[in-house]
């Protein structure tokens, strides 16, 4: 997010604009935002759904200033919840295969952290 949206030191352009000469054209998502991503046919079972829930992890940048090719990194939400082996491995997903509902962003990890802090406050009050 810092690379894409933060202005370079002493500049009035974002770092992305400074490097590429143009505005960031990708989807502006929040880190940890709830998304759905398409699962390739070779990686799913016969009766499995064609998409899975995930959390937005990052924009994929390769080498060079013009390296953002509308690819996004997503963490599998089901694997993350159960801490299944490989849950921290980000999946590279093209923008066409990424679905985000057009509503207030849902941030499951933030909600969990807020509940944990609320419960911790409750424990100290008793």
Q: Which tens digit of pLDDT belongs to each residue from 6-57? A: 776 777 888 778 777 888 888 889 899 999 999 988 888 889 899 999 999 9
Residue 87 has φ and ψ, to the nearest 5°, of -65, -25
Q: What is the mean pLDDT of residues 95-111?
A: 92
Residue 122 has pLDDT above 60, yes or no: no
When pLDDT is cut at 50, 70 and 90, the band that residue 66 belongs to is: low
When pLDDT is cut at 50, 70 and 90, the band that residue 125 belongs to is: low
Model pTM score: 0.79
Instruction: Yes or no: say if 72 and 56 are a contact pair by the CB < 8 Å rule.
Output: yes
* The pLDDT of residue 121: 61
When pLDDT is cut at 50, 70 and 90, the band that residue 124 belongs to is: low
* The pLDDT of residue 8: 67
Q: What is the mean pLDDT of residues 81-103?
A: 93
* The pLDDT of residue 116: 84
Q: Distance between CA atoms of 119 and 88, rounded to whole angstroms?
A: 27
Q: Distance between CA atoms of 124 and 41, rounded to whole angstroms?
A: 50
Q: Distance between CA atoms of 55 and 65, rounded to whole angstroms?
A: 26
When pLDDT is cut at 50, 70 and 90, the band that residue 3 belongs to is: low
Q: Distance between CA atoms of 8 and 19, rounded to whole angstroms?
A: 10
The residues, any chain, with a CB within 8 Å of residue 56's CB and separated by 6 or more, are: 29, 30, 31, 32, 33, 35, 72, 73, 74, 100
């Amino acid at each position: 997010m810092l690379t894409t949206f933060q202005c370079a030191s002493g500049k009035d352009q974002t770092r992305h604009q400074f490097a590429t000469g143009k505005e960031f054209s990708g989807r502006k998502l929040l880190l940890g935002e709830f998304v759905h991503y398409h699962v390739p046919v070779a990686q799913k079972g016969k009766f499995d759904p064609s998409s899975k829930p995930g959390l937005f992890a990052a924009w994929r940048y390769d080498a060079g200033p013009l390296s953002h090719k509308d690819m996004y990194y997503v963490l599998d939400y089901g694997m993350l919840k159960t801490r299944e082996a490989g849950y921290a491995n980000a999946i590279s997903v093209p923008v066409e295969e990424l679905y985000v509902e057009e509503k207030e962003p849902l941030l499951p990890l933030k909600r969990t952290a807020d509940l944990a802090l609320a419960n911790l406050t409750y424990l100290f009050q008793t």
